[in-house]
A and B are shown apart, each in its own frame.
Chain A
Amino acid sequence: MLPFLGAIGFGLVFGWLLGLYDIKPERLPAALTSLSGASVAGVAVTAWLGGLSKTAPFSVAALVALYVHSQWRSELRKRYPKSTNP
């Protein structure tokens, strides 16, 4: 049970960190490549540390954290538009 929860913990932290990565439309292919590369690295580390079966909870937790983080940031940007003060 503990390794399962540990994989979820890894996934949550990893997904949250991925959410920091700003995807700019003009650099979409590069951003997607980077995110894919980082995700493969994260899954590989989890498979190594926790076993192949732990990559599923890791991936789900990472996706949830990524979604929550990006939604939160997007909501904040909507609520507080960029300041126009000099």
Chain B
Amino acid sequence: MLQEAAQSPELASTIQKIGAGAFGAVVGWYVYYINRYRKDDVQLSDIVTLIGAIGGAAVLALFPNKTDLFGAYGIGLAAGFFMYFFILIVLVNKAPGFNSSWFIDGRGPKLEATQELIQGGKGMGATPQIED
């Protein structure tokens, strides 16, 4: 269906626009996710890579330029990206011991007496640094 729309952009139906928006939302969500788990400082190459992911060949193949499908994709992209950020803000501020300083350098409360970091344990993406 998307290929048909690519050949005749004016035929893009509502469901195709919704699909393009949803695809953009997934990409936007994932862009924030990848950026969040970046290990080093931001480099120009990171931003260029992200531009490639956002507007790269795969996107161009699916959504013809200058059409509503591209527009729906862009809206979905921003929605997914900022939805991740919004949910992160809510979760960080609700988590006991955490506050907005977490956004600067990942500050959090000390482990309690009954907690420890497990060797080889892995949270969502980050491997804990265990000091001997």
Q: Which residues of A contact B (CB under 8 A)?
A: 1-10, 12-14, 16-18, 20-22, 34, 37-38, 41-42, 45-46, 48-51, 73, 76-77, 79-80, 82-83
Q: Cβ of B59: which chain A residues have Cβ within 8 Å of it?
A: 49
Does B128 sit within 8 A of A, measured CB to CB?
no
B77 within 8 Å of A by Cβ?
Answer: yes
- Bound-state CA distance A5–B20 (Å) is 14
Within 8 A of A (CB), among B23-41: 24, 28, 31, 35, 41
Indicate if the CB atoms of A10 and B54 lie closer than 8 Å: yes
B45 to chain A, nearest CB (A): 9
- A3 touching B68, Cβ below 8 Å: yes
Apart from the given pairs A7-B71, A50-B74, 7 other A-B contacts in the complex at a CB distance below 8 Å: A3-B67, A5-B75, A12-B82, A14-B51, A17-B35, A38-B48, A80-B101
